[in-house]
Every structure is written in C-alpha cells, then in structure tokens.
Structure 1
C-alpha cells in the first residue's frame, strides 16, 4: 500500500507540474498571475513553462526507469524549485499568501513525496 501511495503521489505531482508548464506555454498571463508575480508576456514565461514541462517529464522518466530510490532522490532535489519560486515571489513584491500557500506548500508536498518514496524503497 505504501508503494502505491508513494508512486501515486509522485506521478500526480509530476503530472501537475506538466500541467503548470503547459499552462505557462499556452496561457502565460493567467499562469503568471497564479505564480504570484505579475509579468508581461515574453521569454520569462516561456522559459518557466519549458522548465516545468521538463521537470514533469524527467520526473516521470526517473520513476519509470529508476524506480523508488531514483524517484525519491529526484523528488528531494526537485523540492528546491518551489522553494526558489517562493523566494522569487517574496523578493519581487508578490503576495505572501501565494508565496507560502502555493510555493512553500508545494515544496512540503514534494518533500513528503520524496519521504514516501524513500520509505517504500526501504521496505522493498
């Protein structure tokens, strides 16, 4: 059951970041508002979308190719991105509610996913 929950949460998080990435690529203004720092359309929004799509695809590939331990390490490392996003929002006058309620909360969920994957790997 732990393995199913660990994989399930990790897959869900990777699919979610893919969704966010495609949202930045297809609807950049709305995605930027949800990010927490208003931004004019341009390269920044495309780069953000590309980064998120890449994170999602690499995360899914690691889960499939490397299994539980590789997925756990990937999710642990990937938690840096939402923490960085939180700091970016705070440094650029964005909403504290968005910084903590979206980005910090996301980092905690990604860390939880990593922990579940590590625990499931240890059991198998």
Structure 2
C-alpha cells in the first residue's frame, strides 16, 4: 500500500515542477506573480523555467530508471529549492501567505515524498 502512494506522490510533484517550469518559459510574468514577488521580464524568469523543468524531468527519470532510493535522495536535496523560495519571497516583499502557504508547504510535501520513498526502498 505504501509503495503506490510513495511513487504516486513523487510523480505528481515532479510533474507539477515540470508544469511550473513550462509556465515560466511560456508565461513568465504570470508565473512570477504566482511565485510571490514581482519580476521584470528577462533572463531570470527563463532561468527559473529551465531549472524547474529540468528538475521535474530528472525526478521522473530517477523514478523510471533508477528506483526509489535515488528518487528519495533527489527529493531530499531539491526540498532546498522551495525552502529557499520561502526566504526569497519573505525578503523581497512577498506575503507570508504565499511564502508559507505555497513555498514552505511545498518543501514539507517534498520532504514527505522523500520519506515515503526512503521507506519503500
């Protein structure tokens, strides 16, 4: 029972990161607004899009081709991204609701996913 939940959560999270990355590439201003801090169009938004898109694809590849242990370590490490995003939003005038309700909550969910993947290895 735990294995499908662990894999399912990891796959959903990786797909969401792919969608976020694609949104930053296709609709950068709207994606930046959703991120929680204002941003001017330009390289920053494209960089974030490529970063998120590649992290999501890498997470899916690890699940598909390597297994739960590698995917668990990956999730543990990439949890630093939404934790950092929390601080970025707070330090740059974003709301606490966005910082904690989106970014910090995402970090917690990614850490839960890592824990589940470690449990099924």
Question: Which ranges of structure 1 fall in alignment gaps of 5 or more residues?
Answer: none
CA RMSD of aligned residues (A): 0.6
Which residues of 2 match residues 100-115 of structure 1 at below 5 A?
Answer: 100-115=100-115
Off by >6 Å, runs of 4+ in structure 1: none
Equivalenced residues, count: 121
> Please, what TM-score do these two structures have when normalized by structure 2?
0.98
- State the 1:65 CA deviation: 1.8
- State the 1:63 CA deviation: 1.0
> Please, what TM-score do these two structures have when normalized by structure 1?
0.96
Question: Which ranges of structure 2 fall in alignment gaps of 5 or more residues?
Answer: none
2-side partners of 1:68 and 1:99: how far apart?
29
2-side partners of 1:66 and 1:86: how far apart?
30
Match of 2:116 in 1: 116
- State the 1:117 CA deviation: 0.4
Q: Deviations over 1:34-64 (max 9, x none)?
A: 0000111110000010000010011111111
